[in-house]
Structure 1
Amino acid sequence: MKFIEIMKQNKPAIQELSNLATTILKEHYDPIIGARQNDYMIKKFQSVDALTKQFEQNYHYYFVCDEVDEKVGFVGYYPRENDLYLSKFYLKKNHRGKGIAKEMFEFIKNQAKQLDYSTIVLNVNKNNAVAIRAYEKLGMIKIDQEKIDIGNSYYMDDYVYQYLIK
């Protein structure tokens, strides 16, 4: 796997990231939360405008590329006071179950170590059984749950997972 950092000044790459996110998220989340809420969330969090603002808030995004340089997924994180927050961890459906998520998580752990963090935290939708299984397989533990109002009468109803770097 190769990880290609997306720079905030690279508008074509941000557009490509938004397109990739839309493809993955529509396929994965429409059945979980419904197309209307998913479309709202994609616009709110994965549109070019939203991504551009996230870069200004110290988000870091990377394309995940396979051995023939196809972009098969992406990761996004940002440093917080006490942990590295793993905001995005997405892989195209036809590339799941091949050990790629493990490589992606190793990459995130290395990023956390370089930034001198010993804890990684993420949120996952309570009904996202596929992701929950993957995160638990990677050694993450459920530490909390939260319901976040994201506007337009929509909520993110999530578990909070944590990974302690040894």
Structure 2
Amino acid sequence: MIEIKKADNTTDFKIIEKLAKEILHEVYDPIIPAEHTDYFLTKFQSVNAIENQIKNENFSYFLLNYDTKNAGYLGIQKMIKKLILSKLYILKSFRGIKIGKTALRYVNRFAMENGIERIELIVNRQNQNTINIYLKNEFKIVESIINSFPNGYSIEDYKMEKNVSN
């Protein structure tokens, strides 16, 4: 059974930090330098970073559980008329059992319930499997962008969007 649980305490944030370390290195090390993944983890997926995002940037984080086991996590940022799907990561051993699809349905429902007009996300151009999943779920590539980071590294990404229909 798939469960989506709001992460709202330090224990939950520590679980997300641990999941992020495992998942992001597995997903990104083949396509970007591991030291950039480490930078990204510290800057955006540490307990302190998550707490700051929730407190100051209108983020919400959720643990994705499968049969009571931590299988991944989701991070969204609510804006006025759009929702940023910031993070959706699932452990390799839990992929292919509809956790991502369930999470995307949850995000869509959240957007509809909050009067959101569109959902946006950024995905690495080399992450074709993930791009295909988003395309199957009605997202469209709207822009090709280069994200530059203070550590001097740049990443080629796609911005994808989905209009929310009520």
Counterparts of 1:10-49 in structure 2 under 5 Å?
Answer: 10-49=9-48
Counterpart Cα distance in 2 of 1:149 and 1:28: 19
Q: Which residue of the partner structure matches residue 125 of structure 1?
A: 124
- Give the secondary-structure state (helix, strand or coil) at the position aligned to 1:151: coil
Counterpart Cα distance in 2 of 1:12 and 1:152: 29
Counterpart Cα distance in 1 of 2:16 and 2:83: 21
- Give the secondary-structure state (helix, strand or coil) at the position aligned to 1:50: helix
Counterpart Cα distance in 1 of 2:91 and 2:111: 24
Counterpart Cα distance in 1 of 2:52 and 2:99: 28
TM-superposed deviation, 1:34: 2.1
- Alignment of 1:165 with 2:164, yes or no, is yes
Counterpart Cα distance in 1 of 2:11 and 2:102: 26
Q: TM-score, normalised by structure 2?
A: 0.93
> In the alignment, is the contact (CA less than 8 A) between 2:80 and 2:116 conserved in 1?
no
Counterpart of 2:108, as a letter, is: K
Q: Which residue of the partner structure matches residue 58 of structure 1?
A: 58
- Give the secondary-structure state (helix, strand or coil) at the position aligned to 2:44: helix
Provide the aligned C-alpha RMSD in A: 1.1
Q: Mind listing any 5+ residue stretches in structure 1 that lack a counterpart?
A: none
Report the identity percentage.
29
- Give the secondary-structure state (helix, strand or coil) at the position aligned to 1:88: strand
